[in-house]
Amino acid sequence: MIEVVGVRADGPDEAARRLLADAEVVLGGERHLAMARALGVGAELIAWPSPMRPALPGLMASVADRRVVVLASGDPMVSGIGSTLVRLLGPDAVRIHPAASSLALARAEMRWPEETCDFVSLVGRDVNRLRRHLAPGNRVIALSGGAGTPAAIAELLRAEGFGATRMTVLADLGAPEQARYDGLAADWPYDTVPALNVLCLDVAVSAGASPVGLSLAPGLPDEDFENDGQLTKRDVRASALAHLRPCPGELLWDVGAGAGSVGIEWSRLDRRNRTIAVERDPERAARIRRNADRLGVPELQVVQADAASGLGDLPTPDAVFIGGGATTAVIEACWHALRTGGRLVAHTVTLETEQAIIDAWQRHGGDLTRLSVETSQPIGRFTGWKPARPVVQWSATKHPPTAEEIV
């Protein structure tokens, strides 16, 4: 049993000290190992390797027959080593001893009830993750990546029209040297703060600014996406997402992704959602990456490959959207890869791919829908309707095969 002990900034409590006294090996970061040394712990002290993830399985295997204590900050299951070890070793091999998390301490310091704020971890992660949470009046508590993270966040907020956001940095929470830094993003005065810090944001839009990606509802404005015209437009995109029916933690393949709009909105709906965007054109693949970063889902994976040949090594999807290149071969490859109970949505505006989609509908069932959207446009001094190209949409759920089909 691996004992994972959460430690406050002021050091281990009595229960943690008893575990340390009985340990043969103590694993942790240098700060936590220094605490163990100061207590006179006699166990072997091993610092985490860098980079950690590739070396972690071998390290844990090397100490498997010894009494091991892992030291972590606060609650080890809040973006911590506890979560990593449970995934690696399984829940029956790990016991968690949490202390008050920095998230809980920050909420107490700010007097922010849990239900009134979002949480995001920027520890070892792209700061663009924060963007998904930026909306006027929203409160965000972010685990900081280091001493320079608040200044980087202030720069991001200014650039995106959120300069009026009030920022509070809480450093060394729970320690005698705990400190607080306050200011506005527009004129944040601190280039660096103590490395162990939590960032609290009361989000506000600057006067006259028009930030992108303010809503999590499907159908962001088309202009929120950098594109070359290869874009699933907002009304049709909202319909696609409604038929894809995203659930938390699911994986989407966005095939022939274009600007990546469907996959990006899928990922924005829940922080656990994942997207693999498949796009053969290198310029469009780079554009998808920029759109994903700017709209707060930097973890979105972009695969530059032809849809007909680039799907074989990808993990099994819970849903598939085919926005471009819906040939019979691509449709069947996606349908074969889709898990039972998964959903597939395909769009087309050409007669050739329309026939492929109709054939797939006849083989696999589902629904065919023809979407026609018209928008008002000036006609001289008057206004009229301008129709967009109609889109044929096929949506289907992959059901288990019948007894006749198995035979």
d(CA 256, CA 334): 12
- Domain identity same for 237 and 376: yes
Are 243 and 181 part of one and the same domain? no
Per-residue pLDDT, 79: 82
**End residue of a domain, out of 172, 202, 232:** 202
> Does residue 57 surpass a pLDDT of 80?
yes
Mean pLDDT of the region 396-407:
74
**Does a structural domain hold residue 402?**
yes
**String of b and e for 98-118 (b: at least 16 CB within 10 Å)?**
bbebbbbbbbebbeeeeeebb
Mean pLDDT for 115-136 is: 94
Residue 161 has pLDDT above 90, yes or no: yes
Q: What is the CATH number of the domain that holds 271?
A: 3.40.50.150
Domain boundary among 55, 80, 99: 99
**CATH number for position 7:** 3.40.1010.10
In a domain? residue 215 = no
One domain for residues 238 and 349: yes
* Residue after which a domain boundary falls, among 99, 117, 145: 99
The mean pLDDT of the chain is 94
Residue 117 has pLDDT above 70, yes or no: yes
- In the predicted structure, residue 11 carries a pLDDT above the cut 90: no
Determine the distance from the C-alpha atom of residue 230 to the mean position of all C-alpha atoms in its chain, rounded to a whole number: 24
The pLDDT assigned to 110 comes to 97
Does 153 share its domain with 179? yes
At 406 the pLDDT is 56
Residue 312 pLDDT > 70: yes
Indicate whether 402 pLDDT > 70: no
Q: What is the pTM of this model?
A: 0.89
Neighbour count for residue 165 (Cβ, 10 Å) = 26
Burial of 60 (0-12, 13-18, 19+ CB in 10 A): middle
Q: Are residues 196 and 320 in the same domain?
A: no
195 domain-assigned: yes
**Does residue 207 lie within any of the structural domains?**
no
Q: Does residue 214 sit within a domain?
A: no
Do 401 and 311 fall within a single domain? yes
Q: Which residue has the tokens 């700010």?
A: 110
| Strand 68-73 with 25-28, pairing | parallel
Same domain, 152 and 172: yes
List pLDDT tens digits, range 226-246: 999 999 999 999 999 999 999
Cβ(79)–Cβ(62) under 8 Å? no
Q: Are residues 185 and 280 in the same domain?
A: no
Q: Is the dihedral of CA 225, 228, 234, 236 positive or negative?
A: negative
Same domain (yes/no): 149, 296: no
pLDDT for the residue numbered 198: 96
| Mean of pLDDT values over 176-203 | 96
Residue 208 lies in a domain: no
Which CATH number is 112's domain given?
3.30.950.10
Q: Which of 87, 66, 84, 85 is nearest to 23 (CA)?
A: 66
- Mean pLDDT over 249-258 rounds to 97
* Domain span holding position 19: 2-99
Q: Considering only 71-80, 257-266, 271-280, which range has the smallest mean pLDDT?
A: 71-80
9 and 52 share one domain: yes
pLDDT in tens, 339-362: 999 999 999 999 989 999 999 999
CB neighbours of 95 closer than 8 A, spacing ≥ 6? Answer: 1, 2, 3, 4
Interacting residues of 262 by C-beta distance below 8 A, sequence separation 6+ = 232, 237, 240, 241, 244, 252, 254, 321, 323
Shared domain check, 148 and 232: no
User: Would 284 be classed as within a structural domain?
Assistant: yes
- For residue 195 the two structure tokens come to 């490395």
Q: Is residue 80 part of a domain?
A: yes
**Each residue's pLDDT tens digit, 314-338:** 999 999 999 988 999 999 999 999 9
Domain count, the chain: 3
Q: Are residues 172 and 308 in the same domain?
A: no
Let me know the angle formed at the C-alpha of 172 by 169 and 178, rounded to the nearest 5 degrees. 85
Q: Looking at residue 308, what is its pLDDT?
A: 81
Give the model confidence (pLDDT) of 362-377 as tens digits.
999 999 999 999 999 9
